[in-house]
Structure 1
Amino acid sequence: MIHYLIVDDEPIAHRIIENYCENLPHLEKKGNCYNAFEAMQFLNENEVDLLFLDINMPKLSGFDFLKTIANPPKIIVTTAYKEFALEGYELNISDYLLKPFSFERFVKSINKTIFPAKEKDTSLVVAKPEIESVASSFFLKGDKKHSQVHFKDLLFIEAYGHYTKVYLKNEIIVSHEKISSFEKLLPESHFIRTHKSFIVAKNEIKHIEGNRIIIQNHKIPIGQTYKGNVNKLFLVN
């Protein structure tokens, strides 16, 4: 049995990894940590075989945390930032998963990490992150259940007080996730932040008029800070 620990400041990232791991019987969760200091304390008291590690965390980054571990377990980095891949491999990580990643890519990473194949000498080759395979959905907790949300069904997301409303083509899911969590999760090629309280699906935009985006019968504001994002959608500004 392979015991793993998730270290990520975004709860939704924990659930995605947990859902993937539930399909692999040789993996068993040992714990969840939401910052590097929690992880330090956890590893001082527990042993794990595998660590899923985010890079961009408050107070202490994932890589700075990794440098403090004397005998680290196997490390799979899970991040939205592809530019840190080289630094990760210099720290002897096993793999670098770029969010959002598919289940197929996740399984490939597990196999590579836990059951490494014998390879030729690659001391002169710099490993690069594999980013060709990305997820097409994610699981979201709302109304006491976990629903699978497909990107193709997502219209837009609205921050709503302490909650977030996820507008789908056929329903609305109210979640406790922060809108910043969704911004990290959703691929920039298909979604755009238009306001501090809104993220919209580019393909669902019917038209843009003034400072509003129209999606079906919804009118979504364009914030002054995010006008530059919206302008990138136009061939001629």
Structure 2
Amino acid sequence: MILNCIVVDDEYPARILMKEYIGQVAHLNLLGAFSNPIEALNYLQDQAVDLIFLDIQMPELSGLAFINALETRPMVILTTAYADYALEGYTLNVIDYLLKPIKFDRFYQSVSKAKELLTLKTKPSHHQETPTSNAREHIIVKSDRKIYRILLKDIYFIQGLREYVTFHTVQGKIISLDSLKRLEDTLPQSRFMRVHKSYIINKLSVESLHGNNLVINGVDIPFSKNLREKILKMVFS
């Protein structure tokens, strides 16, 4: 399977290096390299690509703003000299984040992941979860000046309180500035379910049901009465 790709980076040496790396990988086909992100956006209006190697700090348009400007989103691998943007990049569902100077072995690892994801997308959907499920095995959470990588399977439930949420996990509690609404839209519905205005649960973590409560890791989680039949079907069937 061949991945058609482009490079968007305002630094000439960086573009040359990426061209060299891409030329060494059989499953990559370089369609173009752009120093100006606006030109790249115009190009993408008429040309479909599978993968974009995208710098973050560019004078005309930042890489993160570039992603938000895309009408349709190919896979994106961020390339940058700054680690500060890692969290924001992952919230935009980029598939990887390469820090400059980029080594070839790290580059190859990243593009191999891209190939695997494209293969999943093109496979028939029966007998598997969503094509992007491989990209959603963890969530990036910022809390108390730290960045956490939390495996989805390690989350028991998520509790909302005003503008904060608390992740109850195997490793303990992590409090973050976020909303249950955003998480409800982001987390895979095959695994997580909003059962109450204040709770999202991991279906596989439910131990029992009594009255209008679910028991998860020894904690009673209330659920809305009108969801009882849906919970019985989706959690206990």
TM-score, structure 2 normalization? 0.51
Query: CA shift at 1:198, angstroms?
Result: 0.5
Question: Which residue pairs with 2:225 in the alignment?
Answer: 224
CA contact (8 A) 2:55 2:63 kept: no
Q: Which runs of 5+ in 1 are unaligned?
A: 6-23, 32-44, 55-61, 67-74, 79-98, 112-127
For residues 48 and 178 of structure 1, the distance between their equivalents in structure 2, rounded to whole angstroms, comes to 26
Alignment match, 2:67: 52
Which structure is higher in RCO with an 8 Å CA cutoff and minimum separation 6?
Answer: 1
Quote how far apart the aligned CAs of 1:215 are. 0.6
Inter-CA distance 233–197: structure 2 relative to 1 (3 Å threshold): same
Bigger shift: residues 212-221 or 225-234: 225-234
User: What whole-Å deviation, never above 9, does each CA across 1:36-86 have from its counterpart, x for those lacking one?
Assistant: xxxxxxxxx9346894349xxxxxxx85xx8xxxxxxxx4389xxxxxxxx
Residues 75-114 of structure 1 mapped to structure 2, 5 A cutoff: 75-76=73-74, 103=96, 107=111
Look at both structures and tell me which one has the larger radius of gyration over its CA atoms: 2
What corresponds to 1:2 in structure 2? Answer: 8
Give 1:182's aligned residue: 183
Deviations 1:60-117 (A, max 9, x none): xx85xx8xxxxxxxx4389xxxxxxxxxxxxxxxxxxxx978659x857978xxxxxx
Shift of 1:152: 1.2
Judging changes above 3 Å, is the alpha-carbon distance between structure 1 residues 203 and 76 closer, same or farther for their aligned structure 2 residues? same
- Map 1:158-197; keep pairs closer than 5 Å: 158-197=159-198
- After TM superposition, list the pairs within 5 Å mapping 1:200-215 onto structure 2: 200-215=201-216
CA distance in 2, matches of 1:213, 1:164: 19
The amino acid that maps onto 1:76 is: P
Q: How does 1:6-17 map to 2 (within 5 A)?
A: none
1:27 aligns with 2:65: no
Residues 180-210 of structure 1: CA distance to partner in whole angstroms, max 9, x if unpaired? 1211221111111110110111111000111
The structure-2 alpha-carbon separation of the partners of 1:167 and 1:30, relative to structure 1 and needing over 3 Å to count, comes to: same
1:27 maps to amino acid: L
Across the aligned residues of Structure 1 and Structure 2, the Cα RMSD in angstroms comes to 4.3
**Residue pair 1:157, 1:165 contacting (<8 A) in 2 also:** yes
Instruction: Report deviation, 1:173.
Output: 0.6
Distance 1:235 1:145, change over 3 A: closer
CA distance in 2, matches of 1:101, 1:47: 17
Percentage of matched positions with identical amino acids: 20
User: Structure 2: 5+ residue runs without aligned partners?
Assistant: 1-6, 11-36, 38-51, 77-91, 97-107, 116-124
Question: SS at 1:133's partner residue?
Answer: helix
Task: State the one-letter code of the partner of 1:46.
Answer: E
Alignment coverage as a number of residue pairs: 154
Larger helix percent: 2
Q: What SS does the corresponding residue of 1:52 show, helix, strand or coil? A: helix
The CA deviation at 1:161 is 2.1
What residue identity is the alignment partner of 1:28?
D
SS of the residue aligned with 1:227?
A: helix
Change (3 A) 1:110 1:47: farther
Q: Which residue of 2 aligns with 1:156?
A: 157
Q: Distance in 1 between matches of 2:131 and 2:234?
A: 27
Q: Which residue of 2 is the match for residue 57 of structure 1?
A: none
